[in-house]
Structure 1
Amino acid sequence: MKLLGRNHIIISVITFVILFLMNYIGNDLPDKLQRALLTAFAGVIGLTVGLFILNKGKNDKNPPQNFD
């Protein structure tokens, strides 16, 4: 998956909505909006970092020797 491509943006939006709703609906504290937004943004950032690490070595021309 291309980083910041169309598929990545769609998956990020879906992740944000799911995390936001899970935290907003299931929370009774007075600062539930701030907590839900922070958790949703952190989830999207974590997803982006994970995809960046995954795609970093995808087209490597020189793999490590004796990988076994």
Structure 2
Amino acid sequence: MSENVLFNPGQAISSTFDFNEAYVSAQIYRKKSNKPLLVVQEKDGKLYCVFDKSTAQENSMESKQYRVIKHLD
């Protein structure tokens, strides 16, 4: 079962079409900031994004649904 979250796309730390590139970006940012991050994928399965877990949103007009691929705690 997949886990879905809502984020404002403008708050993405990184976005790319390559999972490995997104994961490396998340690892670098995680090492610098020491904040828990999520690597997520758009519902259409194309774009991978990295978000700070604390920026997850409840239903809002600006939010978009993503599928969680990897947790970096």
Q: Given the two structures, how large is their TM-score scaled by the length of structure 2?
A: 0.30
Larger radius of gyration: 1
Q: TM-score, normalised by structure 1?
A: 0.31
Quick check: which one's strand share is greater? 2
Q: Which has the higher contact order (CA 8 A, sep 6+)?
A: 2
